[in-house]
Amino acid sequence: MADETIDIGGDLSVRRLGFGAMRLTDWGPPRDRPAAIAVARRAVELGVTLVDTADAYALGANEELLAEALHPYPSGLVIATKAGQSRPGRDRWKPLGRPEYLIQQAELSLRRLRLERIELFQLHRVDPQVPFAEQLGALKQLRDDGKIRHIGLSEVGVAQLEEARRTVPIASVQNLYNLADRRHEDVLDYCEAAGIAFIPWFPVAGGAHALAGGPLAQVAQQIGGTPAQVALAWLLARSPVTLPIPGTSSVVHLEENMAAMDIRLTGEQFGRLDAVWREAQSLEPAG
């Protein structure tokens, strides 16, 4: 049975199925604000204790929405946010890791979220135009100043993670990862060995895995669940450090996702799902 909680940074206990808030807002404020607020509040009612957002989600409107919906925050609820990714256009993302910018964005996030300290603050992307040590130095300064508690990274490889840990303690890594896309398998293995929380974004597998009659659908039929629930249950069983953050703007889908906490895959079911990816890897031509 998968553990239901994880201690981020060794001392920040959260439930192992969080909520990704990005889809609550569009390019700007949500089209249906009461509905978005209802989803955020329902997530907490269902036991979510980690909500993931970022300064770049709707240019800060996502953080403002969460504060409107959830502040004053119930005891034990962690609002994790990120900086280091700018939005020059609706569908454009650009890393921006200048130290003064990261510090400024952390201050703005504190204001929008109505917090005195951000419990988990993640570098949204490593900016290749700025020395990594300088980006890490800004995060260290924020931590030393009491503005943030724990530091996380997003979309990093093992070498970057090792480099970062020589400067500051790293509590979490947020990388793209799901049953069908496991390019960061080595990062997850490293995080498990080091006791670092691994937060898969886009955690519900797509592609061939999700086709009608595919492996997810087959297991879902066996257990009386949905393919999305099976994909999340697989992530929870994959490693004790995984902390998926499925996102949605629908209360119905939110409730479906959260029910994945109650699914326990058998060893045979887990292995069958795992084997599909491993077989696909073996068929790929050697690079």
Task: Give CA–CA dist 168/132, Å, rounded.
Answer: 12
Strands 92-95 and 85-89: antiparallel
How distant, in Å, are the alpha carbons of 31, 216, 261, 277 from that of 231? 29, 7, 11, 13
- CB-side neighbour CA atoms (13 Å) of 140: 12
Residue 161, amino acid? L
Reference 250, options 19, 12, 10; nearest CA is 19
Strands 5-8 and 12-15: antiparallel
For the question of residue 190 being annotated catalytic, the response is no
Task: Report phi then psi at 153, rounded to 5.
Answer: -125, 155
How distant, in Å, are the alpha carbons of 10, 72, 151 from that of 115? 22, 10, 16
**DSSP state, residue 153:** E
Task: Give CA–CA dist 71/110, Å, rounded.
Answer: 13
**DSSP state, residue 139:** H
Catalytic position from the list 57, 73, 177, 190? 57
Q: Which residues contact 192 (CB under 8 A, 6 or more apart)?
A: 198, 239, 240, 241
Task: Report phi then psi at 226, rounded to 5.
Answer: -115, 160
User: Catalytic site residues?
Assistant: 57
